[in-house]
Amino acid sequence: MSKVLRKTLSDELHRRHGYRTMEAKIKPVHIANALMRVEHQCVGRMNVLEQLFIATHRKNSTEQRIAAVQTMITTQKERWGALGQVTDVRNSALMTKVLPLIRTLLGADGAAFGNTPEMSSFSSPTALTVTADPSDDGAGAFMHRLWGARGTERLDILDLLAELTDPNKKAADMDDLSALLAPLVEGTREKKVTSSFAAEDLSSGFSAVEAELRRAAIHLAAYERKLNPNPIATLQRVVLLAGLSVFMHASTRPHERGGLERRFLLLDSSGEHFSPVAQASTRCVAQLVNDASEYLSIVLSDLLESAHPNWTSNPLGAINALLEAGGHAPFDGRAKLARRIKESIEETNDPDEIRREVCEELLREIEGNQRRGLDGYLRMLGIRSGFLYPAQKNPNKRLNPSDRTLEVMVMATVDAKLPPVEYRDFLEQLCDRWGIVVGGRPGDAELIANGGANVPGRALRDNSERFLDRLESLGLARRLADSVAVVGLLEAAHA
């Protein structure tokens, strides 16, 4: 029952938004893998990596691992050269050092290993190692469409991605990691990914949030073109922006699609877990998560209404109508879920109260104890994108970006083609683009108070000063004379 309802809700979210959020397993590396797959329309030929998986998987027996290495040596003598000329495979450098090192490289920076290469998403800078792993649940295709696919509104960030990850790149033009991984893949095979995007979002223009996320991509691409850094570092930032963009889009569905109030997040620079700012930031994140659950209730109510008009007059009948519309058998009215629903609404005739109680029971049934909803999706993606903190299994998250995430957010907010902007103007742009406040503007206290978080004005001003200190320490800001500070690509100030 719960699986059927979860699939029904997940399919509806995919129809509306282009990605599913009912499995809290998403990582930026999943999005990167899918982005490259859609862009290059290919996956790697991974016979060698399949043997490497067997040879390095700790759960495999020693005999299985040795046999895999022996197969690699026998079938790929030229590839391994002197490393393969051994009599004692068990203690060879290939088995004890080289293959484990390659697996470590593939697993760096949050890779996701499945039982086979095809069900894995690697931390790799080349599309040679792209897989068919579907774990992004549509997020990669969504980002590809948001950034313009191959239409007239295609953004430079996709061209940058294509250049960096080109599977046909000559060895002399490859970065060091791609050059190391290339011999392990026997080229690529075509993997056609449909170019059409059937979801309601992005189907006809861009919403206010989507337009801001596109501007973020324009600015980050300009930063990377101007900076021209290590290609792997550039790709990491591009992927991180993709993860942050999915987070921001998903977190604003309650506002843009559900009609709920727009929420703002307070960035905590206090450095103290129990400071007023840290507690308020935690409250802001909690409100965002609560809205995500409320939005799922709205979606569920819409589904029930489409299956059974005026469904609050007969909730159990509406649930069965929804199940039958999807080709599933109706559920037993004596089941535990049915009893819980009856008990929750037995003392009310108010349609709004019935709607809320029934949808909450359905969500509890769907999500169980594993937070398999939009709220869990946001927590997981926020943590893995270095956006929310702490990363441990603490349900109370606050906004405290990692250094790399903060760099991406800043350079996706300011225009690297222009001189650095004054700090106060940057704070306005940060709020417009990401819905983030730090306390340096007169209206910040009111914005977060609307979400139930109250902070003394002095604490907010101090938080803004500490945030500026942090930007300065990262080389993203500079204090000038007359109490003026600027934020951006500081080299532009000397151009």
Q: Domain coordinates of the chain in residue numbers?
A: 47-121
φ, ψ of residue 257 to 5 degrees: the values are -110, -25
- Regarding beta strands 477-479 and 388-389, do their DSSP bridges make them parallel or antiparallel, or are they unpaired? unpaired
pLDDT for res 493: 40
Non-local (6+) Cβ contacts of 263 within 8 A are: 251, 255, 284, 287, 288, 291, 435, 451
pLDDT for res 321: 92
Helix H, strand E, coil C: the string for 381-446 is HHHHCCCEECCCCCCCCEECCCHHHHHHHHHCCCCCCCCCEEHHHHHHHHHHHHCEECCCCCCHHH
Greatest CA separation for the chain? 80
Phi-psi region of 416 (alpha: psi -120 to 50; beta: other; left: phi over 0): alpha
Structure tokens at 484: 């003026």
Structure tokens at 402: 């990692």
**Residues facing 42 on adjacent strands:** 190
For the chain, the straight-line distance linking the first and the last C-alpha, in angstroms and rounded, comes to 64
Contact 32, 239 (CB under 8 A): yes
Q: How many whole angstroms separate alpha carbon 97 and alpha carbon 437?
A: 48
Closest CA to 463 of 293, 288, 268: 268
Closest CA to 471 of 415, 426, 416: 426
Non-local (6+) Cβ contacts of 82 within 8 A are: none
pLDDT for res 106: 85
pLDDT for res 492: 42
Q: What angle do CA 321, 324, 327 make, to 5 degrees?
A: 160
Distance from chain centroid for Cα 76: 38
Q: What is the DSSP letter of 491?
A: G
Residue 280 CA: distances (Å) to CA of 54, 222, 254, 283, 414: 48, 34, 21, 5, 26
Give the 3-state secondary structure of residue 64. Answer: helix
Structure tokens at 104: 């470590």
**Hey, which bits of 321-394 come out as E strands?**
388-389
Low pLDDT (below 70) residues in the chain: 1, 24, 150-152, 194-196, 333-334, 369-371, 491-495
Q: How many whole angstroms separate alpha carbon 324 and alpha carbon 375?
A: 28
Structure tokens at 149: 């696919």
Q: What is the pTM of this model?
A: 0.93
pLDDT for res 195: 56
Structure tokens at 460: 């907010």
**Residues facing 437 on adjacent strands:** 266
